[in-house]
Structure 1
């Protein structure tokens, strides 16, 4: 799975907004988000626009303006952010996994694609911004990362 820069930047920005929400800091400007996370400002502006259209953030104008979460950080999953900026979690040549069909030796491949999507959902929809921010990840995520080969590249 390739996690795009767009998605990574969106999650990093959302984590900053989650922290601001939990500390009562108020709206955070795009300049602050870009500077604190070392992100390209123009690219980030487009990303927060997507997050706003998805209903995950709200913007406030003015000198003390910026962006804030629309919900509690515990109620926003990483999957919500992924979908807001990059669309569905899993696609196969532009199709949803359950829409794929193959003949012959690949007949059962759609089942594998659906399983891949289900595993992504388990991790991304089951992990909130608040959990990532605190480091208290769901037990299922912690279990996956504690597997002996989890941190090894293949």
Structure 2
């Protein structure tokens, strides 16, 4: 599964907006804070605005706010707003795949992967990510001991 830069940047921008809801934030400020290319972020924010996930105000005191409460914006909402689809395989959605012969069962696996990812992203809101810590890294196995020579 591929997470696009657009989706990653969009979530990061929304997290910045959710952290400070008292005032609008500018794209310049978000880009600087999150180390995102400004021109790319402008395009991403435009997609988020068209989807209703952010709202904007022009003028010297202008900028962007969340379009609805952070609790009501899921990662799935964000990905669909900027990418249009959650998962594609060679440009097709898994629902439209069919393979012949021994590969006939593979599209079902791709659909299950998409369904699992969809469920996780639907259940994860922007608000739930604020203050969330990264999951701990799996433990590194100790190197195998050489057998003692007797």
Q: TM-score range by the shorter chain?
A: 0.7 to 0.9
Report deviation, 1:147.
9.6
Structure 1 residue aligned with 2:7: 7
2:45 matched to 1:48?
Answer: yes
SS across alignment from 1:28: coil
Q: List alignment gaps of at least 5 residues for structure 2.
A: 141-150
5+ residue gaps in structure 1? 137-141
For the residue of structure 1 that corresponds to 2:85, the secondary structure is coil
* Structure 1 runs (4+) greater than 4 angstroms displaced: 145-149
Distance 1:100 1:147, change over 3 A: farther
Q: Quick check: 2-11 or 39-48, which moved more? A: 2-11
Q: Distance in 2 between matches of 1:64 and 1:34?
A: 18
Task: Indicate which of 77, 87, 95 corresponds to 2:92.
Answer: 95
Equivalent pairs counted in the alignment come to 140
Q: TM-score, with normalisation over the residues of structure 2?
A: 0.85
> What's the RMSD between the two structures over aligned residues?
2.1
CA–CA distance in structure 1, aligned partners of residues 138 and 23 of structure 2:
42
Q: Given the alignment, which residue of 62, 69, 73 partners 2:70?
A: 73
User: 1:115 maps to which residue?
Assistant: 112
Aligned residue for 1:59, secondary structure, equals strand
Deviation at 1:2, TM superposition (A): 2.2
State the structure with more CA Rg. 2
The CA deviation at 1:72 is: 0.5
Q: TM-score under structure 1 normalisation?
A: 0.83
| SS in structure 1 at match of 2:25 | coil
1:27 to 24, 28, 35: 24
- Alpha-carbon distance, 1:124 to partner: 1.0
Greater helix fraction, Structure 1 or Structure 2: 1
Give the Cα separation in 1 of the matches to 2:137 and 2:113: 18
